[in-house]
Amino acid sequence: MQLTRRGLRLLRSARVAHLATADANGQPLVVPICFAFDGKEFVSTIDEKPKQTPPTRLKRLRNITANPKVSLIIDHYDEDWHRLAYLLIRGTAKILLRGARHRRGVYLLRRKYPQYRNMAINDRPMIVITPKQLTSWGDL
């Protein structure tokens, strides 16, 4: 995945991304996520914020199980529309419950988001996205 210096800056500074999944029938779902990037993969956890469904039954996880193809969009909005920009990442997702990649994701997310330092994300599902294609737009 080739990124310009500005693209990398957007990727590192962004606090939220939007994850697009689709179920086996192609019904889309887009949700905002917190994420980290280790240079090869994106990670996002199912955290302890209140949810109406048990963590392992969330629609995004069921979608990934049925259809691992996902998209991730990281954007920058500005009232000066000459400064608008986005990164669109298409890839495949896996759900991890344990292991070295899960532990690495916990470390990266806790380093980026202080809120995660007091949450038991080490016991929660982790979404790992392997990028296959990158599209950028704007001043990137």
pLDDT tens digits for range 38-72: 999 999 999 876 667 766 779 999 999 999 999 99
pLDDT for the residue 48 = 73
**CA–CA–CA angle 100, 68, 136 (5° rounding):** 90
Closest CA to 91 of 116, 57, 64: 64
CB 45 within 8 A of CB 30: no
Spell out the domains of the chain, with CATH numbers in brackets: 5-138 (2.30.110.10)
Q: Is the pLDDT of residue 1 over 70?
A: no
pLDDT of res. 47: 82
C-alpha distances (whole Å) from 17 to each of 25, 99, 100, 127 are 24, 25, 24, 13
Q: 103-125: per-residue pLDDT in tens?
A: 999 999 999 999 999 999 999 99
pLDDT score, position 51: 64
pLDDT at 20: 98
DSSP codes of every residue in 77-122: --SSGGG-EEEEEEEEEEEESSSHHHHHHHHHHHHH-GGGGGS-GG
* Average pLDDT for 20-35: 97
* Percent share of the chain, pLDDT over 70: 95
